[in-house]
């Protein structure tokens, strides 16, 4: 990256850079998904439990455990399982998920003052630091989600200890956590790259002053000359060959003209019948 001062670069538009718009859209979306994954009790689902109907299943999260059936919408939450909540993965997931939510809010609070669009130039350093915090919050989500998924069947529980035939399935919180973490990682990284000028300044919507000056100082090409044929001669020839009067037009006719019909009398009441006075 060339060592250039800020005065040697110029922005072509006063609009908010696209990298900041992308980050400010992805980060809140990821935060909402991560919040749902944190509070919802469905990191994994236990099914086919002994002495229970086929429609009965248990949902285990990092804060609560609920039981429900497919035929009823109501769930019974607050189930006790000290074996499950005493595991290291549960304590780590609780701390990292809550910390990720807080860091994302701090990152947005830091990035927004640097993205103010009513200034001629955004504060790239402040907005980039906010993007870095958002990126780290996404990483803090992916770590417990990936770890929990890796040992999904190995996390002990009272239900699994009493029933070896119970099956374990991935809950929807794992899916939401992955999507939310990826959103925050992408949004934070894109905002962070605004600190440096890469891709010839295109990532920041800037151009070098020398490029702008050379564009306006280039001599304009001379306008191309187009020869248009004159129409005066053609008009004079047509006017000379045109007849000068009606008589000349009549002289040019080579066939006899039809005679005009005789003028009719004003009395139109005669119908051709003789009267006595005529005899």
Instruction: Tell me the domain boundaries of the chain.
Output: 14-215
CA distance 205 to 128: 15
Q: What local confidence, expressed as pLDDT, does residue 33 receive?
A: 95
Q: What local confidence, expressed as pLDDT, does residue 119 receive?
A: 64
Cα 29 to Cα 92, 175, 177, 180, 228: the distances in Å are 23, 14, 12, 7, 64
In 10 A of CB 79, how many CB atoms?
A: 16
Question: Looking at the domain 14-215, which fold is it?
Answer: Butyryl-CoA Dehydrogenase, subunit A; domain 3 (1.20.140)
Mean pLDDT for back-to-back runs of 10 residues, the chain (279 residues):
50 68 91 94 86 83 86 80 88 94 93 73 84 94 93 85 81 93 93 72 59 56 68 54 51 55 53 55
User: Which residues are CB-neighbours of 257 under 8 A, at least 6 positions away?
Assistant: 250
């Amino acid at each position: 990256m060339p060592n250039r001062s800020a005065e040697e670069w110029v922005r072509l538009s006063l609009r908010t850079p696209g990298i900041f718009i992308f980050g400010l859209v992805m980060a809140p979306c990821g935060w909402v998904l991560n919040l749902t994954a944190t509070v919802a009790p469905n990191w994994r689902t236990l099914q086919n439990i002994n002495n229970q109907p086929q429609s009965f299943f248990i949902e285990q999260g990092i804060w609560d455990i609920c039981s429900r059936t497919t035929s009823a919408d109501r769930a019974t939450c607050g189930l006790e399982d000290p074996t499950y909540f005493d595991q290291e993965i549960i304590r780590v997931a609780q701390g990292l998920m809550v910390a990720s939510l807080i860091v994302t809010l701090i990152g947005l609070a830091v990035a927004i003052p640097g993205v103010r669009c009513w200034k001629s130039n955004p504060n790239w350093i402040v907005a980039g630091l906010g993007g870095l915090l958002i990126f780290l919050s996404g990483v803090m989500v992916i770590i417990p989600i990936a770890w929990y998924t890796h040992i999904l069947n190995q996390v002990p529980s009272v239900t699994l200890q009493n029933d070896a035939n119970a099956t374990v399935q991935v809950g929807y919180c794992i899916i939401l956590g992955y999507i939310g973490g990826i959103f925050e990682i992408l949004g934070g990284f894109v905002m962070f790259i605004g600190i440096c000028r890469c891709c010839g300044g295109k990532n920041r919507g800037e151009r070098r002053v020398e490029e702008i000056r050379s564009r306006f100082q280039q001599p304009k090409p001379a306008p191309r000359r187009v020869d248009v044929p004159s129409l005066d001669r053609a008009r004079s020839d047509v006017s000379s060959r045109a007849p000068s009067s009606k008589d000349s037009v009549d002289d040019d006719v080579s066939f006899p003209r039809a005679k005009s019909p005789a003028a009719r009398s004003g009395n139109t009441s005669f119908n051709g019948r003789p009267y006595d006075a005529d005899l």
